[in-house]
Amino acid sequence: MTEHNRPLDVLILAAGQGTRMKSKLPKVLHPVAGRPMVAWAVKAAQELGARRIVVVTGHGAQKVEAALKQPGIVFARQEQQRGTGDAFLSGVGALEQPDADILVLYGDTPLLRPETLHDLLADHRERGSAMTVLTGELPDATGYGRIVRGAGGNVERIVEQKDASESEKKIGEFNSGVYVFNSQAPELARRIGNDNASGEYYLTDLLGLYRDSGKPVRAFKLADTDEVRGANDRAGLAEIESIMRARINAGHLKNGVSISASETVYIEDSVTIGRDVTIEPGVILRGQTRIADDVTVGAYSVVTDSVLETGVSVKPHSVLEGAQVGSGSDVGPFARLRPGTVLGEGVHIGNFVETKNARLGAGVKAGHLAYLGDVTIGQETNVGAGTIVANFDGVNKHQSTVGAGVFIGSNSTIIAPRCVGDAAFIAAGSAVHADVPEGAMAVARGKQRNIEGWSRRYWEGLKEKVAVKLPWLAGWLEQNTPQ
Helical ranges in 36-182 per DSSP H: 37-47, 61-68, 84-92, 114-126, 166-169
- Residue 138: which residues within 8 A CB-CB, separation 6 or more? 144, 172, 174, 225
What are the distances in angstroms from CA 227 to CA 8, 113, 158, 246? Answer: 21, 7, 20, 13
CA dihedral 426, 428, 431, 435 (to 10 degrees): 0
Q: Is 234:146 a contact under the CB 8 Å cutoff?
A: no
Q: Are 289 and 305 in contact (CB under 8 A)?
A: yes
- Determine the Cα angle at 352 with ends 350 and 356, to 5°: 90
Annotated active-site residue 348? The verdict is: no
Which are the contacts of 121, defined by CB distance < 8 A and separation ≥ 6? Answer: 8, 48, 101, 103, 180
- Residue 77 phi/psi, 5° resolution? -95, 130
Neighbours of 478 (CB within 10 A): 10
d(CA 333, CA 325): 15
Torsions phi, psi for 371 (to 5 deg): -120, 120
DSSP element (H, E) containing 348: strand 348-360
> Among residues 118, 368, 398, 433, which one is catalytic?
368
**Run of H or E residues at 459:** helix 454-460
C-beta separation of 442 from 424 below 8 A: yes
Cα 182 vs. chain centroid, distance in angstroms? 36
For residues 382 and 407, what is the distance between their CA atoms, to the nearest angstrom?
Answer: 5
- Alpha-carbon distance 345 to 458, whole Å? 53
* Short-list 162, 167, 160, CA closest to 145: 160
Rounded to whole angstroms, the Cα distance separating 294 from 310 reads: 6
> How many residues can be counted in the chain?
483
State the Cα–Cα distance between residues 467 and 394, nearest whole angstrom: 43
Q: How many CB atoms lie within 10 A of CB 464?
A: 9
Residues 6+ apart with CB under 8 A from 365: 347, 348, 350, 381, 382, 383
Active site residues: 368
